[in-house]
Structure 1
């Protein structure tokens, strides 16, 4: 089953209120409204695209080790995923798909890392829960997401809903700003130029991991 098929199946069950989910239709409607407004805002079109130089970063992984993008690019191409956090089931499904594709990235000498604004303990939970073998990095205060043009503030009405649902983003992220990155995938060449980008303000839509493999293969051929 494709990644998007899995996401669609989860969304259908969630919105139908199938166990273990029991969410009122009013909650679903608020989430739809927020997504539609973010799509219509054009925020995704203002993010970094293929052909742009990728912002460099130096972030801590789940164990507190510093991971530097320049060091990763010395080894080969970089596959980079921005996600919302371990609290987001769509993100967890995506992380599992990336883990399944990792042997193909490894074959071409590409590094795979994922970035979220969550704290290190929550990143460790991401690793455990999804059985990941690649680094999960903590983007403190969302600065790297901001540099890529992905960071946005939740609308006030969605913040109120999250509070009602006990989805405490300030605690998850150790940041009072109520901001998140739009989910995004990048392949970055060793010269730092973005070769592939996919940014979607609809968090229920994610690209297939396989879509990046030809780009990684081509980047590896240039490297050779």
Structure 2
């Protein structure tokens, strides 16, 4: 099986989100990717975690920066407008080229009805160009928007943006993930894998940030927090 066939087979499985990520990682590391690229990816994860960058990202108790970003059709989407309706779930998305991110988006879509039933809105934020976000939404069957964060400016406000070292840029190009082409600018930056819940007062009440992009929490991990917010809103 090739890359797409492997991705699709695992996607169709009954595995939970992390199980799918683990299964794909085994195939990617042992069969789908060149050993030098795999080594570079592993090295970059170790270095990013060792740098302490994930610990410096915004966390529970911090105030989330307000943002207005375009959806893939160019329509402005305001965090303030979404928060006026209820809590906001935000997932930072590396791009259409990242299979691990796409597994997460499909898991969030599967959970979207339960998220919305708890009064929350759901968006993803990505540095990629709008045509790539439209492709992501189409291929992953998303009913929530991917908002465009040019050059990762909002990711930087959440302390999530980091710059890829030269050896990792080489690996990305080898794997067909040339970020300047996907993102329309040459900063070679990405957001760390991150998912947040922002309460209506702007405070962060759930934060999951990981320097290892192959590790993602189940969407259901957010439900107790959303349930608590719902109880507070009617108290």
Q: What's 1:216 paired with?
A: 226
Tell me, what secondary structure is at the counterpart of 2:84? helix
CA distance in 1, matches of 2:93, 2:104: 9
Any conservation in 2 of the 1:76–1:223 contact (CA below 8 Å)?
no
CA distance in 2, matches of 1:140, 1:48: 20
> TM-score by structure 2 length?
0.92
Which of 1, 16, 20 aligns to 1:2? It is: 16
CA distance in 2, matches of 1:173, 1:216: 32
Please, what is the CA RMSD of the aligned residues?
0.9
Which of 127, 131, 134 aligns to 1:121? It is: 131
**1:30-66 Cα distance to aligned partner (Å, 9 max, x none):** 1100110001000000000000000110000111111
Q: What's 2:167 paired with?
A: 157
Deviation at 1:83, TM superposition (A): 1.4
Cα 1:166–1:14, aligned 2, differ >3 Å: closer, same or farther? closer
Tell me, what secondary structure is at the counterpart of 1:143? helix
**1:127-166 Cα distance to aligned partner (Å, 9 max, x none):** 0010000011010111000000000000111112223333
Structure 1 runs, 4 residues or longer, greater than 4 Å off: none
Pair 1:191 & 2:198 matched? no
CA distance in 1, matches of 2:76, 2:231: 29
Which of 103, 113, 121 aligns to 1:103? It is: 113
Unaligned 5+ segments in structure 1 are none
> TM-score by structure 1 length?
0.96
Q: What's 2:60 paired with?
A: 50
Tell me, what secondary structure is at the counterpart of 2:152? helix
CA distance in 2, matches of 1:86, 1:35: 20
Unaligned 5+ segments in structure 2 are 1-14
Q: What's 1:205 paired with?
A: 215
Which of 21, 26, 37 aligns to 2:36? It is: 26
Q: What's 1:148 paired with?
A: 158
CA distance in 2, matches of 1:185, 1:165: 26
